[in-house]
Amino acid sequence: MLLMFLICYAAAIMLLYDTATAPCYDTATATTSTTTTYYYYTTTTILLILLLLLYYYYYYHYYTTTTTYYYYYYYYYYYYYYYYYY
């Protein structure tokens, strides 16, 4: 799951880099500019980084919650087993 996310992230960065380095032709002023594409490239990169951080947050939260749940479950089971046989 994490590997697939990183592969998609790298592919998106490469596509955005190709788009950002291509010159943008402005029909209003008849000039070529890369400011607009650079702005979109920077914004999308920041959003992808935030998405990665959000993924790590939910993954860590799920892992911690699951581990805590199983810990209390086994602790309760052990206590019940001890009380039943003694």
In this structure, is the dihedral angle defined by the CA atoms of residues 50, 54, 55 and 59, taken in order, positive or negative? positive
Q: Could you tell me the residue range of the domain that residue 63 belongs to?
A: 2-85
For residue 2, pLDDT over 60 is answered with yes
Residues 40-67 pLDDT 10s: 667 777 777 877 788 777 777 666 655 5
What pTM, to 2 d.p., does this model score? Answer: 0.36
Mean pLDDT within 19-25: 54
Mean pLDDT within 77-85: 60
SS3 8: helix
What percent of the chain is modeled with pLDDT above 70? 29
Residues 23, 16: contact at Cβ < 8 Å?
no
Domains of the chain: total:
1
For 32, the token pair is: 């070529």
Give 15's strand partners.
none
Residues 34, 21: contact at Cβ < 8 Å?
yes
